[in-house]
Structure 1
Amino acid sequence: MALRRITQETFDAAVRENVEEFEMDPDEALKDAVDQFQSQGVDLSCIVKAVPAEPSDDKQPEQTHKILQTLESLSLAQESENVTKAAADVKCFTEQCLLGFAQRYLAGQKGAYPIILSQCQKSLGEQEAILAAVTALAALTDGQPDLLDAEGKGFLLDVFKTHHDDSSVTRAAISAVRHCCLKHEQNRQDLIKVGILPLLMDAIKQHGGDANVVKEAAGALRVMTFDDDIRVSFGQAHEHAKMIVLQHNGLKVLIESARAHSGNTTVLSELCATLSRLAVRNEFCQDICDLGGLKLMMTLLADSYESAELVRQVLSAIRAVAGNDDVKDAVVKAGGVQLIVIAVNRHMTVSAVCEQGCACLGVLALRKPNNCKVIMEEGGVSAAVQSMKVHPDILNVQKQACMLLRNLVSHQPNYSQLILEMGVEALILHALKTHQDCGDIAKAALRDLGCNVELRELWTGKGAGITN
């Protein structure tokens, strides 16, 4: 059932009533209001859960939240052309936005976007002012991509062109682009049409030594390949990935950037995540391998296996490029199976690593009997079984482990007994009982392992004629 929603004004009125009518202290009044609304099934995720502040001056006669007071102050400073006051207010506004989504949402509802965009446009020629203004725009649009309009898109392009030498401003502009494109297909398409991709690629090339710029730009490129806007039936994720690779040499640029930041696990995680999103065609997977990307991934697994997040992203990238059958063999030949098993065992308590590790091994085993032999010998099944035991409530871990087990025995039934002796039947049955979405793959694994399983035939095409 959908949760109920209320306005900020309704919530604030309840807090004031607790203070004025029931003589509660502010903290008690706030807690009581939160408890009361939550008990009524009200969604408070977009509500600023704070006691409204007293007015900062005579021009703000009513109690309101600090972010709205700052916004009002900024608007007045713009009208009076008080540059110093406007600069201070912009920084304060950004700090308020960073407190949480509720603050950003409230500001957006009260007309913050045109005020911030106006400040951005007025600051375009001044380095310090434009950095503060674009940072505020990026903060405001985080989680609110619908705020961006055509004027804002044009402004962002202008920032890239006029401040391309400034890494700090460039990074802030990239952050704004990323926020405005996440879960917003139209913004993605519009910005790509007006040339955002070459600007992002140029930012990586020009500021390749700045880890923050590279990380932010890689994240923005990855968002361009998402299909996450539920309002759109069909996105352009695949086409955007192809454009990045074919028109802008994206694979080479990202792999070279990874080499340049070999000691920065945060940047490497971002680059690997983006590479995995670009491996959308068989030839792209091979290109990543030929450009040294696979060798880089193997090195990262061997040298940086202590970082769970980096391991997860590297495994995700290996899983993606191993969609190419030749790359599957290259991974195994490079000792990838052993490294994957070591990584999973090292981070057995991290469900995301277990999921990606089992998925990697499952892809390597698919249609490759020789690879199945290596996986069996290197302890791949033991790692998958342990993952199922440690994470019985995590659907994707169970699904990927079942997929691996099925792929191992589908063309090599002689492995079935060895695998069953590890107690996998009970684990698969538990996954089948616990996770409805695991049903098909769990039953397929049981079937191919030679276990008793009820396979229900949903429709045979018989029993009813075709009518006009």
Structure 2
Amino acid sequence: MARRRITQETFDAVVKENTEEFEMEPDEALREAVEQFESQGVDLSYIVKAVPTASSDEKQGERTHEVLQALDSLRIGKDSSEVMELTSDIKCFTEQCSLGFAQRYLAAQKDAYPIILCYCKKSLEEREAVLAALSALVALTDGQPDLLDAEGQQFLLDALKKYQADSSVTRVAICAVRHCSLKHEQNRQDLVKGGVLPLLTTAVKQHIGCAELVKEASAALRFMTFDDDVRVTFGNAHEHAKSIVLEHNGLKVLIEASKAHPDNSSVLTELCATLSRLAVRNEFCQDICDLGGLKFMMTLLADSYETAELVRQVLNAIKAVAGNDDVKDAVVNAGGVQLIVIAMNRHMCNSAVCENSCACLSVLALRKPNNCKTIMENGGALAAVEAMKAHTDAVNVQKQACMLLRNLVARMQNYTQPILDMGAEALIIQAVKTHQDCGDVGKAALRDLGCQVELRELWTGKHGSLTN
């Protein structure tokens, strides 16, 4: 059930009442207002929880929040022909929006977007001014992709084209693209139609040595492959991924970028995350392997297994490319199983790493008896059982571990008893009882392990007729 919402004005009025009527100190008045509304089940995530202040040039003027004071300054000066004179005001607004979502939301409610877009368009010819205006747009649209309109989309494309050689402006413009693409399918489709994909891949190639830009562009490409807008029944995620690979050589661009930053874990994490989103076809998985992507992932896993987030993304990428049966064998032959089990044991307390490790091993084991042998010999099954013990409340760990154990014995029944000796049966039964989502995969694992399991028949085709 959705929580109640109030306006900023309602909240501020209560703070003011607490101060004037009940003679509370400002901090106490604010705290009392927050407690009052939270006790009533009101959602305050959209509310600036601060006491409004008077602007510096208004001693007795109406008190407002600082983000609105900064916005008012921009509103007054937006018709000025000298954009550079207002750069400090734009930066002040950006700082206020960067404080939190509530500030950005309040600014948007007071028509900040058309004002900021006006500054963006007016400053396009001035590098420093456009950098400041773009930064303001980035801050404002963070979590608010609906603000972007056709005019704003065109401005972003124009800025990317005009400042291709400038890594700073390009990076900020790409950040705006990324913010406006998250959970907004229409923005993604419009930007792709407008030609954003080649601008992103070109930016990576042209500024391959700039770590922050490579990260930003890689993330923006990845966001183009999302299907996360609940308002849209069918998105173009798959088509966008194919376009990045087939029309813009995205796999080679990203793998080459990874070679330029061998010691930068944050860049490599982002690149792995994006590669995993592009492995949507069998031949793409093979292409990643042929281009050296698999070798890069194996090296990365071996050299950086201490970094949990990097390990998680590498495992996710390996799982994606191992959808190709030939790549499965390449992963195992490259020592991938040993590295995955080592990483899993090292981060046994991290549910995300355990989930991805089990998922990765499960894919490698699927329809591959020889790979199952390697997984068993290297302690993969035991690690999965330990993960189930360590994360009883993590439904995805339980599901992936059940799937791995099932795949290991589906074609290799001789592994049934060793896995049962590890205590797998009791753990799977507990997972099925605790997590509804584990029902099907857990019961399938129990069945293939030869355990007693109650399988419910949904329909037998008897006891009735389809016709009256």
Deviation at 1:87, TM superposition (A): 0.7
The match for 1:395 is: 395
User: What amino acid is aligned across from residue 321 of structure 1 in structure 2?
Assistant: V
Residue type at the aligned position of 1:19: T
The 5-angstrom pairing of residues 13-412 of structure 1 reads: 13-58=13-58, 61-81=61-81, 83-412=83-412
- The offset of 1:27, in angstroms, is 1.3
Q: 1:64 to 1:421 in 2, by over 3 A?
A: same
Which letter does structure 1 place at the counterpart of 2:222?
R
Structure 1 range deviating more: 398-407 or 76-85: 76-85
Retained in 2: the 8 A contact 1:349–1:390? yes
**Which residue in the other structure is 1:452 paired with?**
452
CA change 1:191–1:83 in 2 (3 A) is closer
Q: CA deviation at 1:319?
A: 0.3
- Deviation string 1:355-400 (CA, Å, 9 cap, x unpaired) is 1000000000000011000000000011111111111111111111
- Asked whether the equivalents of residues 145 and 184 of structure 1 are also in contact (C-alpha less than 8 Å), the reply is yes
CA displacement at 1:59 relative to structure 2: 10
Residue 247 of structure 1, CA deviation:
0.3
The Cα of 1:413 is off from its aligned counterpart by 1.6
Distance (Å, rounded) in 2 between the aligned partners of 1:65 and 1:461: 67
Task: Report the TM-score when normalising by structure 2.
Answer: 0.98
Contact 2:241/2:280, CA 8 A, preserved across alignment: yes
Q: Supply the distance in 1 between the matched residues of 2:314 and 2:348 (Cα, whole angstroms).
A: 16
Structure 1 residue 81: Cα displacement:
4.4
Does the 8 Å CA contact 2:167/2:213 hold for their aligned counterparts? yes
Matched to 1:387, the amino acid is A
Q: More deviation in 34-43 or 242-251?
A: 34-43
Aligned-pair CA distance for 1:83: 3.8
Instruction: Provide, for residues 271-301 of structure 1, a one-character-per-residue CA deviation record: whole Å limited to 9, x for no partner.
Output: 0000000000000000000111001100001
- The whole-number CA distance in structure 2 between the counterparts of 1:342 and 1:149 is 48
Taking structure 1 as the reference length, the TM-score comes to 0.98
The match for 1:415 is 415
Q: Can you list the C-alpha shifts for 1:379-433, whole angstroms capped at 9, x where unaligned?
A: 0011111111111111111111111001111111211110011111121122112
Partner SS for 1:79 = coil
* 8 Å Cα contact 1:60/1:69 also seen in 2: no
Supply the distance in 2 between the matched residues of 1:271 and 1:23 (Cα, whole angstroms).
56
Conserved? CA contact 1:18–1:29, under 8 Å: yes
Q: In 2 relative to 1, CA 366–282 (structure 1 residues): closer, same or farther, beyond 3 Å?
A: same
Question: How much has 1:438 moved relative to structure 2?
Answer: 1.3
Q: What secondary structure, in the 3-state scheme, does the structure 1 residue paired with 2:79 have?
A: helix
Q: Say whether the 8 Å CA contact 2:204–2:213 is kept in structure 1.
A: yes
What one-letter code is carried by the residue in structure 2 that aligns with 1:435?
H
What is the CA–CA distance in structure 2 between the aligned matches of 1:411 and 1:457, rounded to whole Å? 25
Instruction: Provide the rounded CA distance (Å) in 2 between the counterparts of 1:200 and 1:16.
Output: 49
**CA shift at 1:251, angstroms?**
0.4
Q: Is the 8 A contact 2:381 2:405 kept in 1?
A: yes
1:142-189 deviations in Å (ceiling 9; x for gaps): 110100001001100110111111100000000000000110000000
The count of aligned residue pairs is: 468
Letter in 2 for 1:146: D
Deviation at 1:118, TM superposition (A): 0.5
Change (3 A) 1:147 1:339: same
CA distance in 2 between counterparts of 1:229 and 1:156 reads 21
Structure 2: gaps of 5 or more residues: none
| Distance (whole Å) between structure 2 residues aligned to residue 270 and residue 297 of structure 1 | 12
Residues 294-353 of structure 1, C-alpha deviation per residue, up to 9 Å, x if partnerless? 011000011111111111100000000000001001100000000000011111111111
Instruction: Name the CA distance, whole Å, in 2 between partners of 1:169 and 1:32.
Output: 44
Q: Once the 2 structures are TM-superposed, how far is the Cα of residue 84 of structure 1 from its aligned partner?
A: 5.0
1:7 equivalent in structure 2 = 7
Instruction: Verify the 8 A CA contact 1:312 1:352 in the aligned structure 2.
Output: yes
CA–CA distance in 2 between the matches of 1:80 and 1:327? 60
Q: Distance in 2 between matches of 1:374 and 1:339?
A: 12
Amino acid corresponding to residue 445 of structure 1 in structure 2 = A
Give the CA RMSD over aligned residues: 1.3
Relative to structure 1, is the Cα distance of residues 60 and 171 closer, same or farther in structure 2, using a 3 angstrom cutoff?
A: farther
Residues 322, 364 of structure 1: 8 Å contact kept? yes
**TM superposition shift of 1:462:** 3.1
> Does the 8 Å contact 1:159/1:170 carry over to 2?
yes
CA distance in 2, matches of 1:139, 1:351: 32
Q: Give, in whole Å, the separation in 2 of the partners of 1:453 and 1:109.
A: 57
Query: Is residue 83–residue 129 contact of structure 2 (8 Å, CA) maintained in 1?
Result: no
- d(CA) in 1 for partners of 2:300, 2:413: 34
Partners of 1:236 and 1:461 in 2: CA distance: 39
Deviates more, 1:437-446 or 1:271-280: 437-446
> Which moved further from structure 2: 264-273 or 405-414?
405-414
Structure 1 regions of 5+ residues with no counterpart?
none
* Per-residue deviation, 1:60: 9.1
Q: Write the letter of the residue equivalent to 1:412.
A: M
After TM superposition, the structure 1 stretch with the greater mean CA deviation from structure 2, 275-284 or 95-104, is: 95-104
Contact kept, 8 Å, 1:56 with 1:69, in 2: the verdict is no
Query: How many angstroms apart in 1 are the aligned matches of 2:297 and 2:308?
Result: 14
Structure 1 window deviating more from structure 2 (439-448 vs 249-258): it is 439-448
Give the share of equivalent positions with the same residue, in percent. 74
Deviation per CA, 1:104-145, whole angstroms, max 9, x where unpaired?
111111100000001111111111111111011011111101
CA drift at 1:82: 5.5
State the secondary structure of the residue aligned to 1:386: helix
**Moved >4 Å (runs of 4+):** none
- The amino acid across from 2:109 in the alignment is Q
> Alpha-carbon deviation of 1:80?
4.3
Paired letter, 1:38:
E
Letter in 2 for 1:393: D
